[in-house]
Amino acid sequence: MGQHHARVYDQMPATQLVGVADANAEAGRRVAQLHHTVAYTDYRRLLAEAHSEVVTVAVPTEFHCQVAL
């Protein structure tokens, strides 16, 4: 699901996609390359290093609360 969110953000003229995080390094690199951004394997590092005003939590439902908090 996250790859679709990245695509939509990348297509929005007033939005800059500053990074994607995926525990699967290869999947993250693939999405990041497609959308000309940086891939992270740990979302906490993305949050610490990339300035962002909006964050999408696109993880399996059981992890939404843990990641969002």
Query: CB 21: neighbour CB atoms within 10 A?
Result: 23
Give pLDDT, residue 22.
95
Residue ranges covered by each domain of the chain = 2-68
- The two three-digit tokens of residue 53, written as one number: 């005003």
Compute the distance between CA of residue 9 and CA of residue 17 in angstroms, rounded to an integer.
6
Q: What is the pLDDT of residues 15-64, one digit of tens each?
A: 999 999 999 999 999 999 999 999 999 999 999 998 888 889 998 999 98
Write down the pTM of the prediction: 0.83
DSSP 8-class letter at 13: T
Give pLDDT, residue 52.
87
Is the pLDDT reported for residue 68 higher than 90?
no
CATH of domain 2-68: 3.40.50.720
Give pLDDT, residue 51.
86
